[in-house]
Amino acid sequence: MCSVSKLQQFLRLTDQKQSHALIDAINVPNLYARLEALDSPFVSLLNGWSSTSYLRVAPFLVKIDGVCPRLELLIEDAASAGAMVWLESNHTIERIRSRLFKFYYWRHGRHHVYARIADAMYFSSFMKVLNEDQAKLLGTVAPRFLVPSGDNSIEFFQYDDALCRFVNKEAEIV
């Protein structure tokens, strides 16, 4: 019996629509080098000088263009470590990066705050406390998020235009 990889499961759950993975470099060793070895486009959520200075800790957005063994292993490692959020979006990778950056980095005076939005547990909690404006800002660029958890379940967050919020449900990975 042939087992189905987590990458293939996520693709099936998003009906083969354009997908991206937001991966946390803090919990995935050598993430940048592993991304460079792929043929898939990727970008750090950071920009400017910080994008090269913080490669080992930055979250990366990866466009999923197909299935290959290296990508399958990366998705498996990231999902198992709770270091990945899967999202569905028809927008360009740069537009998605720009929108996610608004939730990743805050500045107040001389204080800078970086949120761990690529961490599955943080992201799941974050999605449950968004206000209407935040949900709309995120939902217009990525209407569906899948958040894997360590117990082989996935939380689905689907943006609902009428409610101006994300609706949550949970499913088990087969």
Q: Write the pLDDT tens digit of every residue in 88-125.
A: 999 999 999 999 988 877 777 787 777 778 889 989 99
Residue 44, SS3 per DSSP: strand
Q: Provide the whole-model pTM.
A: 0.88
Report the distance separating Cα 20 and Cα 32, nearest Å. Answer: 16
Percent of the chain clearing pLDDT 70 (strictly above): 90
Q: Which residues of 11-35 are buried (b: 16+ CB within 10 A; e: fewer)?
A: bebbeeeebbbbbbbbbbeebbebb
Distance CA 149, CA 153 (A): 6
Query: How many residues appear in the chain?
Result: 174
Residue 29 predicted with pLDDT over 60: yes
Question: What are the backbone angles phi and psi of residue 62, rounded to the nearest 5°?
Answer: -120, 125
Alpha carbon distance, N-terminus to C-terminus of the chain: 14
